[in-house]
Structure 1
Amino acid sequence: MPRYKLTVDYDGRPYCGWQRQANGPSVQAVIERALKGFTSEDVSIGGAGRTDTGVHATGQVCHADLSKDWPAETVMRAVNFHCLPDPVVVLHAEQMHNGFDARFSAIRRSYRYRIRNRVPALTHDRGLAWHVKSELDAEAMHAAAQEFVGHHDFTTFRHTRCQAKSPEKTLEHFSVRREGEYVIAECASRSFLHNQVRSMVGSLRLVGEGKWQPGDITRALEARDRQACGPVAPADGLYLTRVDYRPVEIDQEEWQDKKARKAAMAAGDDSGT
């Protein structure tokens, strides 16, 4: 069955998150419904990241196996037609090798957090940015954000119900900058813990307000205690912006090697019985 890689853009406000759930609408369910409308088949998709309730994406990635070898452009247009009127759009479709996995083939995920830093209430950005009235020092926030870069135990900055086996992650990049009324935070890592980005941004807000110093970020990290985290930033301002992968040729070669090793092991087991 041909496997397709779909790059997806969505407004997370109407959904209980990416993952299909029984208690509310999800982005995954919208795309699967659209694929069924297009192919008349039940198709289960896999996503690169399970964004939470209200979190948005401009570069989420998922994969889907279809029974027919459709042109990628046709898949993109058909899925977008059947997603209507939901605020979910496929930006790009590409046919991949069958070993490609949107989640496990990923080598980097990038997030952006948008803060609208002004006193007046939000209008067009309501639900799309975090409204912070107090003046924020973006330069101080950027300096403090560097404390997160590198390999750390992020127990303090993950949800208590996080299901990851280890709290240790390696943050490759974390920047904070001001663009007019906006304070933009961007970070990248191979993977993130549940609520990690929102927890880090919430603590950085305290730095921006002068309530914390960069050293307080370090102490919170070293505490390895959820109680040491600052108030968690709301979902409104968080966007999954990009998922990076190895070159297709390398990914396919590794997948084929794994298949060959598994086949060899199976043959060895059979010969020994």
Structure 2
Amino acid sequence: MSKLSKGITLGVLALTTGLLLAGCGKAEGKALDTKKVTVGVTSGPHQELMEEVAKQAKKDGLEIKIKSFDDYNTPNTALNDGDLDANSYQTIPFLDQQVKDKNYKIQKVFKTVAFPLGVYSKKIKSLDELKAGDKVGVPNDPSNEYRALKLLQKAGVIKLKAGVEEKATKNDIAENPKKIEIVELEASQIPNQLGELSSAVINTNFAMGAGLTINKDSIYHEPLKNNPYPNVFVVRTENKDDKVVKELKKYYQSAETKKFIEKRFKGSVVPAF
């Protein structure tokens, strides 16, 4: 091959490589589609809410495809890996812990609703009735277990060690005057186990899925107003300022959505915006 031919060939290869690299870089920072997005939710209230938001968005030509999950971990993995465009199902402490533990490149963009955590029972009417050896169920994922233990502490059932953080478990209980047994369970499975327990702290979405409401069925619960654990809408960090995210916020935080929340959930789920 002549020097001229070699030069032309190398030049073409360099140009092609440069274009390919430029194309790859553009793909990584690609904005979300303004006409169609896929949002992950947990089944129950979050799914119902997103279906309401989708109805509003559809009128303006935005299609929201909803994917429902039955656990708290998969939606964040799916979002981080690009299988979802966004998700809507989690509290800020849970999100922060997942990002810290798994190095996800995802972040909150706006508040949605709050699900006051409640204690439920088929055997007692008050936590004062707990006695030695009684089993009390709590969610086993880090932030929800901490939240459940804090609720039991507020009720005077237990006392946690000073300075415990979001990863607190039953091993961080400093005082247990009633000598109850804390049973750590997968959050979605607790309603199915309620009959085997004296009582249990159940996340509202799973409680509602089992036909339980916080106002009628819980024996103790978090504040219904100004709840300290709002849920948030989450996207990949690179998409936080995308145009469609602002549109989704507009539909989710609309007066129409607020009216739907208040009518459909009657206090078990409350607007956090």
How high is the TM-score relative to the length of structure 2? 0.21
User: Over alpha carbons, which structure has the higher Rg?
Assistant: 2
How high is the TM-score relative to the length of structure 1? 0.21
